[in-house]
Structure formats: structure tokens, C-alpha cells
Amino acid sequence: MYIHEDETDQQWALGGASRWWLHHALESLDTSLQGKLNIFHGEPQAILAKLAAENNASRVYWNRCYEPQSIERDGLIKSSLKEAGLDVQSFNGSLLWEPWQVLKKDGTPYKVFTPYYRRGCLQKPAPRKPLAVPAKMQLHKLENNLSVADLSLLPEIGWDKKMHEHWDISEEGAKDRLDEFVFNGIQDYREGRNFPNKKNVSRLSPYFHFGQISVNSAWYAANDAAALIDNETNLDTFLSELGWREFSYYLLYHFPALPTKNLQPRFDVFPWAQDTDAELHAWQKGQTGYPLVDAGMRELWETGYMHNRVRMVVGSFMVKNLLIHWHHGEQWFWDCLVDADLASNSASWQWIAGCGADAAPFFRIFNPITQSEKFDKQGDYIRRFVPELANMPAKYIHAPWLASAEILAAAGVEIGTDYPAPIVDIKESRERALAAFAFTKNSP
């Protein structure tokens, strides 16, 4: 059974890209269940109570959610159903370790990743192994339930058309993606994951988020492939990245204000820039004049996804070079990412802004030009998503405004017409960011 809640009053109602993925994921699930997925829309507690009574149910089971509002909701549902005499149980279907299982010796939660993962998680019992697909399931189609289309999850305008080319939104698609990664991508994961034009990242995050494959399956598939991996640091690095996902959920569980409040209160006085609508819009649309930033933002818009290295670069650029509050980036990603996940999105934006747990130091400011030269040397990633620069020589594609008039003319590029001039000076904006941080650091 799937119940789609009324999202009218929800602060973190599903973004557009997530709704698009959910529509196709539900269609795929319904097909795999021979059309017997029961779909409802409304208030879960009332719907479950009514269905339990009408069908003489004795048990209700579900997998846990860890967002603060979900914990509160599910607690109320569990209490009310138990009072009605039902056996109610919830299970961990999406994490390797429960957040309350991993604590420091004094019983408090970790705030730094490495000790959390190395001294905490890895010292606990190993994650549970995935169960086999049931040999037989008795499925029952209830009356008066809805179709997937009735939920109206798809956009009214066709911005999603290109996204179909990039994803197989099904359990089989998830398994194929995992197989491809453990047999090929993981071989050079530690270094290869930094290069946006290489296929060394797993791209499993939306499948994890929507439950089309479990993180446990990825954990054990990667471990099982260990014999095929030339350098064991590739396996360790991938597993630790799964650990970062765990850490994000862990932080959200222990610090439920994570999506809205700085974990480091001193950042509450940070002097964010004002009247930044034009800069924010240029960043959102991939029109900043910095090719790597623009390629990342356009990849996000076209595919619903962005390479992780590039996520750090575009996040740093918005927060530090433009001095735009991290909430704006968090909200844009929430709407545009197919893997939009409250825990990971919030923790990652706080990390890049320097105000979260185990955060990158604020003075660590990614230079989009040097990052581009290092990780997209020939400009292949840029050419793919910023086609107006496709004919620029590799030497100048990272900072095209520095090219001579002759080179620009040969490439068919006029700065300010075909491609925007930089909206901010990278050196001056860095100094401005460091001054803002110094003010915050020295505030009482």
C-alpha cells in the first residue's frame, strides 16, 4: 500500500523532480505487483484506521522514515493503531545502522564523520544482509483505491522530457546500475569519482531514496566484488561514502533542526549578501560565466542529477563567491534533484557553507577555474552541458573571457552575447567571503 499525504501544509513537500521520479517508481512497482499496488491519497492515520477496520486487519507493518515530521506522524499512527488492538511493527529498510545505535562512550551523538564511521559504525555488528525475494506473495487489491495518475505527480509543463533519457526508474534499473558500478566503476572509484566526465560514480542515490534498491544491497555487492578490485582503497572509499549517507541521516535524527538552523550557532550572525535575486537566478540557470559551475547547474536541470565533485564546486560558488545563504541552494536542489533527500541535502549544504557538523572550513573556497582545469582538463563535461563553448580550445574553455578576440571569434563565441561574462570576480569575491568569515569568527 502507498499513501500519498496531503502536502498542503508540509514545509518539505516533494520537489518537482522527486514527484516525477515517484510517479514512474510507483508505476514500475504496480507493474511488478501485477497491478495490485493499493494507492490512497490523504491523511495516513485516518486511512489506515479505516482500512484496518474494513478488512479485519490484525497487523500493520512498515519501514521507518527518519525525517522529523515523519517520526512524529508514524509515532501517532503506531499509538492509535495499537490502541485499536492491532499488532504494529516498523522496520529499518533504508539504513545500515540505526541512528540510536551509534553513540560516543558518554552516550552523546558524534559530530565528526571519521570517528562516527570508523570508531562507531564499523565497530557495531555488520549491516543486515538483504533478504531474498519472497517465493510467493498473496496480494489483495482493495476497493476504492487510486491509480498513479490520480496523484497528479507529473509536471504540467514538459520540463521533464529530457530526464527520461537518463534513467531507468525501476528495481531492475537499480540492479543494473549497481552491477555496472561494482564491475566497472568501482575499479577506479577513489580517484575517478572526482572527474565528472568519467563513469566512476554509482548514481544509485535516487534508487536508495525511493527504496528501489537498499543501501545494504550496495554494501554487500561492493564487498562481494572485493576480489575483482585491484586497489582496496577504492572499496573502502565507496563504503565510506555510504557511511556519509548514514551520517547525514544520523545528524538529522539527533539534530532535527538541521534543514533550517546552522549547527554552529556562530554562523547565525554571518553577513550574507542582500538583494541577490539576479545572481541567484544566474546561478540557478547556469549563466554565471564560469563554465564548470554552469555545466553543473545545467546538468542538474537536464538530468535531475549532478556529479558530486561539481555539487561541491557550485555550492561553494553560491555560498562563498556570491555570499548567498545556503538555504537558497538547499531549496533549489530540493526541487531539482531526483535524489533530493532531506538528510543528505541539508547536511551537505551545511557542510559546504562551513556551518554544519564536520564542515569544510569556510576558508576552503573552491576555485571553479582551477577545479575545471584539474578535473575536466579537456573540457568534455563542459562541452556536453554548455554547448555554446563546444568549439573553444581546451586551454581557454575553463575561463573563456581570457581568450583573445581571435580565438573567441574562431570558436564562434562572443562574451556577453553567446556566453555570459563572469557575474563576479573570483579573486575579489574570495576576499569578500574571507572578510565575512572573519567578522563571524570574531563576533561574540
Q: Which of 302, 308, 391, 401 is catalytic?
A: 308
Cell of 3: 499513501
159 is catalytic: no
Q: Which of 180, 241, 302, 373 is catalytic?
A: 241
| Amino acid letter, 316 | S
- Cα(121)–Cα(249) distance, integer angstroms: 13
167 is catalytic: no
How far apart, in Å, do the first and last CA atoms of the chain sit?
Answer: 53
Q: Which of 349, 351, 367, 388 is catalytic?
A: 349
241 is catalytic: yes
Kindly write down the DSSP assignment for every residue of 106-126, as one continuous string.
Answer: TSPPP-SHHIIIIIIGGGSPP
283 is catalytic: no
CA distances from 42 to 28, 45, 48, 169, 383 (A): 22, 9, 10, 25, 45
Q: Which of 97, 326, 332, 351 is catalytic?
A: 326
301 is catalytic: no
SS3 185: helix
Q: Which of 98, 272, 302, 391 is catalytic?
A: 272
Q: Which of 62, 98, 197, 244 is catalytic?
A: 244
Which is it for the CA torsion 295, 298, 299, 302, positive or negative? negative
From the list 86, 27, 23, the residue with the least C-alpha distance to 52 is 86
HSE-up (13 A, CA, CB side) for residue 132: 3
43 is catalytic: no
- Cα(430)–Cα(354) distance, integer angstroms: 15
Residues annotated as catalytic are 241, 244, 272, 308, 326, 349
